[in-house]
A and B are shown apart, each in its own frame.
Chain A
């Protein structure tokens, strides 16, 4: 029973972080109709940004996350103009490959600079005693922060003028342009926000698990599963998808070998794509 409660709590907390990572991917897909294959590379970049802020300036990941967010926004907007602006209206193959080449560049340079040695951030916050089990405080904070960022994004998208413009562009780019929305700016901003969220998620996850420059790939694949589960293009869906995945990972492993978990995850991915491509929460 104790193991079950612990698995449940861990699942929810990690699920929130997975959800945050996936929201970045989902926003970019929803607004730009681009599958961002550099997502994992940016998650890894977020992990390293947090790592260096911690080791060089002694900033706790839970403080420096604001800096990572700002950095991600800038890097993402620049990346948009380098890799995507020219091909944004081209067939999907072009955007898939251009974001993938971005990922190759980041991972390639990252491997060169940081090597693939595993690293970890030891925040040393101790554990909390919850419902009869011990949970590392970093994990709790990661979950809480993820939830806060998700809520902030939601408020931004639904309550501010810029947020509304982003949603307008995602519904119909041409019509939004006619209504006076600067679509180029909105597209680059959306990409920037998507990248910033990916990097923030990376920074938070880095405080819980050890990582290497290649770790982003794992979370990128998880993000795909989550997005598909929750419905491509729906931010709330990504949160729900993240929770489902986090719970699956932690609860299933109580009963079966860890090795089967990825198989089940990707089986879910393929089955959902086939049976209900709009996701669990999708309409139609």
Chain B
């Protein structure tokens, strides 16, 4: 597969954004960039199954929640440090996705979407009833946990750096998946699954792998997010609205492209931030997001990157 030049600007771009709060030592900027990076990582990983393979995982936030819970449990009750706990959480999420995918990936189209909503809601209600995970009230960190990282203030910076690393890895991996033979197989599944199967693509294995990849990163993101938050509860971890936000970002940027979700996440976070501080639009931001989404779906289904690619042929090498 011929590779373009997307990564040559995308990675420096992300690095500049991530370094901004470090240089300015601004806590407010750090919080904003942390959320942006989290969105980028979530959108880029959802894009693997939704954009590349064409399977709209509507309840994708479930893997973020599972990762968050696994890591939180390990850190809270077993005393594992953040990075190993995060890796275990990512792997656990990926394994869950393999198991769940074994079943739900047999479904196609809208039925698959509904089934993934069902999986999210089922796991949310299950976790709400499990007392060793804290039930409906969830779990809280004892602040002693942050001592291992040099106090709470330093622990939050530490979480920030880990999030930067996770995001960069997610974006790079999603790019290499897209430009690999594996990615080509996924795109053929998206266009016509039966034809892909007849032409020798192992559709079942490809889909499962793509699903596992797209669950691995949200698992790690969840681990870092809830480490930083200090508490975890089912309503937060398996919030269906977050799932929708992920889909929104992917669509806004351009689904199936590697740079689209990154730009989509960035624009969405800025847009949301702007609307939330405006007194007139503060309460209307959901409605505005809905209106924008409707316009994208009706008039620019390729999103921002798709639109630019179709208008400017020369940009195709740098906007993959």
> For residues 199 through 231 of chain A, which have their beta carbon under 8 Å from a beta carbon of chain B?
221, 224-225, 228
B97-138 CB mask vs A (1 if < 8 Å, else 0) is 000000110110111011101110110111011000000100
Within the assembled complex, what's the spacing in Å between the Cα atoms of A111 and B284? Answer: 8
Give chain A's interface residue range (CB within 8 Å of chain B).
35 or more
Known contacts A112-B284, A270-B104; A100 and B56 CB within 8 A of each other: no
- Contact indicator A263/B297 (Cβ below 8 Å): no
B290 partner, pick from A90, A104, A262, beta carbons under 8 A? A104
Within the assembled complex, what's the spacing in Å between the Cα atoms of A269 and B115? Answer: 7
B107 partner, pick from A96, A98, A273, beta carbons under 8 A? A273
Give chain B's interface residue range (CB within 8 Å of chain A).
35 or more
A101 partner, pick from B103, B104, B122, B291, beta carbons under 8 A? B291
A96 partner, pick from B56, B115, B284, B286, beta carbons under 8 A? B56
Does B177 count as interface, using CB distance less than 8 angstroms? no
Does A59 count as interface, using CB distance less than 8 angstroms? no
A23-48 CB mask vs B (1 if < 8 Å, else 0) is 00000000001110000000000000
Residues of A within 8 A of B118 (CB): 224-225, 266, 269-270, 273
Does A107 count as interface, using CB distance less than 8 angstroms? yes
Residues of B within 8 A of A87 (CB): 297-298
- Contact indicator B297/A108 (Cβ below 8 Å): no
Closest B residue by C-beta to A232 = B111
- Contact indicator B125/A105 (Cβ below 8 Å): no
Residues of A within 8 A of B251 (CB): 97
- List residues of chain B with CB under 8 Å of any chain A CB: 50, 54, 56, 58, 103-104, 106-107, 109-111, 113-115, 117-119, 121-122, 124-126, 128-129, 136, 244, 247, 251, 255, 283-294, 297-298, 301
- List residues of chain A with CB under 8 Å of any chain B CB: 33-35, 82-83, 86-87, 90-98, 100-105, 107-109, 111-112, 221, 224-225, 228, 232, 257, 259-263, 266-267, 269-270, 273-274, 277
